[in-house]
């Protein structure tokens, strides 16, 4: 029977551990193989069997594998929600986490099940400098009203203000504007809003969240969001921005390296999603690292390998170069030759850290204070209703409250 080639680690293997990864245009097979080899070189006695998710939804695939009794031993960037509570993942000790900048990020009931190895700013508003100039925009917006003014100017010149995706199987790609507005309108005042929601003391229908959702609805009504995006897959959406089909592209910071590595024919700038009063709000997600299954053949060895994988300097350099991540490892500095868009993104992050303006990124959180399983997907689908105008904001928030109740029964 033909089978995928196994990747033996340097130093041979006494224990074979399966490792679930996912391939994207940024992170291809060669990338993973090299990263795996580096980690295996540091932890002898392990043979890694690389498994690849068939599409980008690695969490969904991990669930399918678990449902068929095949949960991989080590998993990369799989949301631990559900797995942790069901005891399927192994927890990392505080000592194991000593090299991480944010050792409590994404904790479930106070324990860490996914190494918080990198930070991503979600969203950053990347923009087409040429089109901004065409529309006579000279400064990037710092308040939300200025953002609306810029959009109006762009629209007047027949330039679509926002490129937003969400088509094909990539429904999640439509969430980024909402993540931005929730950060400015909800999380800035109430950083632990989702924890309060879990306790039932706030609801989606409350004014704070409603105002965040209403902003999206208004953007769509004014025609600032291109509804064609609802038919575009994630890759097509990025391509649309590169083809100049819209001036602003709210997207996670992983876009930065794609922008630098494959330059479009215009310069790209970046600014954070503006709040009403202009104060800085930087929504981030820290986590995204490796998890270990509690049923792995040798859990301690698997954990050692996972730590080696996430802490290795060269692996992190490779991740930074390929995927624009901001590694949250103590003492780590990204390579000096990163491109301008990445540098601009990191600058936003560092400003946020300095001004204490870091908040969570709505729908990206994991662990305590995150959405119940399946709800992020449902929210993404419901956002499509906001964009097409099929549902008014009140119905949208009511739907979210209703789905929350269903998911937590």
Partner 1 sequence: MNDTRVPWLRPVVALFVGAVFFMPLYLVLVNVFKHGADIVPDPAGLPSPPTMDNIAAVLSRADNLFVYGLVNSVAVTAISITILTVLSAMLGHYIARSRHLLAKVVMVTLLCGLLIPSPVILAPITMVLRALGLMSTAPGLILVNLGYYVPFGVLLFMGFVKSVPLELEEAARLDGASTFRTFWQVVFPLLRPASASVLIFLGVWIWNDFLTPLIVLGPDSGTTVTVGVYRAIGEHQSDFGSVFAFMFLATLPILVFYLALQSSFVKGLTGGAIKG
Partner 2 sequence: MTHTRHGVRGGDPPAAHRPPLPSGPTPLRDRPPRDRPPRGRRRVSGRITTFALFALPGLLAYLLFVLVPIGMTAYYSMTNRNPFNPPTKWVGLRNYAELLGDAEFLKALANTVVVTVIVMVLANVGGLLIAQLLDRPTRLYVALRGVFFTPVVLSSVVVSVIWQVVLTDDGLLNSALRGLGVEDPPGWLSDPGIALYTIAWVITWQMLGFCVVVYLAGLQGVPRELQEAAAIDGCGPLARFRNVTWPMLAPALTINTVMLLITGFKAYDQIQVITNGGPGTGTTTTMAFQVVQTSFNGNRVGYGSAMAAVMLVLVACVSVLVLRVLQRREVTR
Q: What does residue 314 show for φ and ψ, rounded to 5 degrees?
A: -70, -35
Tokens of 237: 């959406």
* CB of residue 4 to partner 1, shortest distance in Å: 6
Helix pair angle (375-388, 393-407), 10° resolution:
170
Half-sphere exposure (CA, 13 Å, Cβ side) for 324?
29
- Our finding on whether 296 is near partner 1 (CB under 8 A) is no
Among 222, 314, 388, 394, binds partner 2 (CB under 8 A): 388
Site for partner 2 in 76-135 (CB under 8 A): 82-83, 85-86
**What is the distance between the alpha carbons of residues 291 and 219, in angstroms, rounded to a whole number?**
38
In the bound state with partner 1, the residue whose beta carbon lies nearer, of 202 and 228, is: 228
| Residue 141 binds which entry of partner 2, partner 1, none, CB below 5-8 Å type-dependent | none
When CB distances are held under 5 to 8 angstroms depending on the partner's kind, the choice from partner 2, partner 1, none that residue 326 binds is: none
Residues in the chain: 409
DSSP letters along 224-290, please? -B-GGGGG--HHHHHHHHHTTS-SEEEE-TTHHHHHHHS--SS-EEEEEPPBTT----EEEEEE--E
Binding mask 41-60 for partner 2 (x = CB under 8 A): -------------------x
Cis peptide before 242 (omega within 30 of 0): no
Return the C-alpha torsion angle 377, 378, 379, 383, nearest 10: 100
Binding flag, residue 86, partner 1 (CB under 8 A): no
Nearer to partner 2, 12 or 25 (CB): 25
Which range, of 205-213, 236-244, 319-327, 354-362, touches partner 1 by CB under 8 A? 236-244
Instruction: Report the distance separating Cα 114 and Cα 291, nearest Å.
Output: 5
Residues that bind partner 1 (CB under 8 A): 1-5, 18, 20, 23-25, 28-30, 33, 49, 51-56, 64-65, 67-70, 72, 168, 233-236, 238-239
Interacting residue ranges for partner 2, rule: CB under 8 A: 60, 63-64, 66-67, 82-83, 85-86, 166-171, 227-233, 236, 240, 245, 373-374, 377-378, 381-382, 384-385, 387-388, 390-391, 399, 407
């Amino acid at each position: 029977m033909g089978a995928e080639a196994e990747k033996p680690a340097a130093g041979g293997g006494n224990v074979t551990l399966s490792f679930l990864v996912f391939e994207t245009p940024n992170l291809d097979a060669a990338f993973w193989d090299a990263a795996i080899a580096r980690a295996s070189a540091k932890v002898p006695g392990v043979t890694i069997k690389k498994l690849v998710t068939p599409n980008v939804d690695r969490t969904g695939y991990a669930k399918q594998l678990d449902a068929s009794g095949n949960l991989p031993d080590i998993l990369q960037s799989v949301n631990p929600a559900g797995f942790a509570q069901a005891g399927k993942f192994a927890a990392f000790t505080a000592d194991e986490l000593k090299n991480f900048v944010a050792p409590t990020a994404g904790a479930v009931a106070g324990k860490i099940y996914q190494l918080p190895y990198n930070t991503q700013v979600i969203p950053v508003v990347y923009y087409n400098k040429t089109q901004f100039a065409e529309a006579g925009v000279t400064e990037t917006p710092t308040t939300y009203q200025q953002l609306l003014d810029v959009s109006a100017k762009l629209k007047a010149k027949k330039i679509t203000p926002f490129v937003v995706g969400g088509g094909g199987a990539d429904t999640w790609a439509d969430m980024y504007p909402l993540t931005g507005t929730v950060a400015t309108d909800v999380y800035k005042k109430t950083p632990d809003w989702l924890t309060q929601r879990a306790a039932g003391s706030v609801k989606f229908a409350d004014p704070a969240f409603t105002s965040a959702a209403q902003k999206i609805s208004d953007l769509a009504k004014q025609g600032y969001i291109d509804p064609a995006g609802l038919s575009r897959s994630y890759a097509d959406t990025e391509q649309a921005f590169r083809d100049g089909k819209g001036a602003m592209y709210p997207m996670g910071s992983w876009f930065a390296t794609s922008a630098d590595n494959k330059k479009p024919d215009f310069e790209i700038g970046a600014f954070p999603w503006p709040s009403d009063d202009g104060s800085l709000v930087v929504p981030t997600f820290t986590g995204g690292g490796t998890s270990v299954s509690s049923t792995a053949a040798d859990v301690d060895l698997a954990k050692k390998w996972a730590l080696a994988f996430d802490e290795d300097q060269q692996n992190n350099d490779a991740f930074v170069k390929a995927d624009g991540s901001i590694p949250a490892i103590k003492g780590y500095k990204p390579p000096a030759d990163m491109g301008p868009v990445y540098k601009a993104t990191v600058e936003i992050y560092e400003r946020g850290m300095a001004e204490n303006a870091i908040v969570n990124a709505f729908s990206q959180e994991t662990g305590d204070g995150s959405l119940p399983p399946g709800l992020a997907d449902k929210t993404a689908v419901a956002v499509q209703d906001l964009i097409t105008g099929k549902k008014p904001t009140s119905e949208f928030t009511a739907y979210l409250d209703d789905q929350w109740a269903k998911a937590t029964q």
